[in-house]
Amino acid sequence: MADRIFSFGAKPVSRLATVASLRSAKGRHGAFAQVTADTSEEAAAAEMAGIEMITCRAANVRHVRQGSEAVFVTAALGFAEAITDDEILRAAFGALTDGADAVITGRRLDIVSLLASEDIPVMGHLGFVPRKSTWVGKVRGVGRSVDEAEQLFHRFRRLEEAGAFAVEAELVAAPLMAEITARSDLVTVSLGSGPAAEVQFLFTSDICGDGDFRPRHARAYGDLERLRRQIADERVSALKSFREDVAAANFPDINETINVDETLIHELLKRIAPSP
């Protein structure tokens, strides 16, 4: 059931999730589901499927809101689009005004505090952070050594102290994730970090089987890649048939041309014929 609130744009709206409902679900693993969306079509599909939460690029919040007014939208603040404190605040308030309910950032903790001090719901990003993967050297799980597990635990604590309400935990070892989330008030969003989280998160492209590569942590429930290949093959076949018909003078035929009475042509020829 959707809750009635006011958006950050001061518009009365109904949301399938709110910061309050997410927090009240603490300890209820899998209470919510989150997917990616950057178009109105993807957002509409998510809502129709019963998905409560969407994450999207900040620049695409308006498109997402055109597809769904009900889902909880978290806007990702890009690294390059907003760099200074003022730019980050402007980008965050812009996304919220466009219809976002929260923002997510992987920036330093004082940025989290800056946003939180304005009562902006902030989600952090811990564990494996793809943009920062050069520091760990490859795509891999996080928390497989005692030292790394302890470091991650303290990062969760510092993120919470900075004012974040939630954290996307990516590729964290599942038993470690269970222990950390039980000791944190942060709403946990698991992306490949096991079942012990309030929110389970997968990319829409992975869920729908859209692409050749599929991460180990993802499960495909569809096969859009097969359909895309079928569309590509059908496109080539249609174009080839068109070219063959042109070469064989089979296109256009009488049904694909505009005709007039022959008397019109005779009259035209008389008018344009050169004088004797």
The predicted-structure confidence for 218-254, as pLDDT tens digits, reads as follows 999 999 999 999 999 999 999 999 999 999 999 999 9
Residue that the structure tokens 């891999």 belong to: 140
Residues 6+ apart with CB under 8 A from 142: 127, 128, 136, 148, 152, 170, 171, 172, 173
* Rounded distance between C-alpha atoms, residue 147 and residue 151, angstroms: 6
Q: What is the pLDDT of residue 124?
A: 97
Shortest CA distance to 198 belongs to which of 210, 184, 212? Answer: 184
Residue 207 in this model has a pLDDT that exceeds 70? yes
Instruction: Determine how many CB atoms are found less than 10 A away from the CB of residue 12.
Output: 8
Q: Is the dihedral of CA 196, 222, 76, 40 positive or negative?
A: negative
Q: What is the mean pLDDT of residues 136-147?
A: 93
- Contact, 82 vs 131, CB < 8 A? no
Residue 165 in this model has a pLDDT that exceeds 80? yes
Average pLDDT value for the chain:
95
**Catalytic machinery residues:** 170
Q: Which two tokens stand for residue 229?
A: 């290949």
Q: What is the pLDDT of residue 78?
A: 85
Q: What is the pLDDT of residue 215?
A: 87
Q: What is the mean pLDDT of residues 111-124?
A: 98
* Rounded distance between C-alpha atoms, residue 245 and residue 188, angstroms: 60
Q: What is the pLDDT of residues 38-88, one digit of tens each?
A: 999 999 999 999 999 999 999 999 999 999 999 999 999 988 888 899 999
Half-sphere exposure of 125 (CA within 13 A, CB side): 21
Higher pLDDT, 275 or 37: 37
Instruction: Determine how many CB atoms are found less than 10 A away from the CB of residue 107.
Output: 17
pLDDT confidence tier of residue 154, bands split at 50, 70 and 90: very high
Shortest CA distance to 116 belongs to which of 99, 100, 104? Answer: 104
Residue 276 in this model has a pLDDT that exceeds 70? no
Shortest CA distance to 191 belongs to which of 213, 212, 209, 166? Answer: 166
pTM for the full model? 0.89
Q: What is the pLDDT of residue 273?
A: 84
* Rounded distance between C-alpha atoms, residue 19 and residue 244, angstroms: 60
Q: What are phi and psi of 153, to 5 degrees?
A: -60, -45
* Rounded distance between C-alpha atoms, residue 202 and residue 193, angstroms: 11
Burial 212-225 (b: 16+ CB within 10 A, else e): eeeeeebebeeebb
Q: What is the pLDDT of residue 82?
A: 86
pLDDT confidence tier of residue 275, bands split at 50, 70 and 90: low
Q: Which two tokens stand for residue 212?
A: 């050749």
Q: What is the mean pLDDT of residues 100-116?
A: 97
Instruction: For residue 87, give Cα distances in angstroms to 60, 84, 105.
Output: 17, 5, 13
Q: What is the mean pLDDT of residues 183-203?
A: 98
pLDDT confidence tier of residue 213, bands split at 50, 70 and 90: confident
Q: What is the pLDDT of residue 79?
A: 82
Half-sphere exposure of 171 (CA within 13 A, CB side): 17
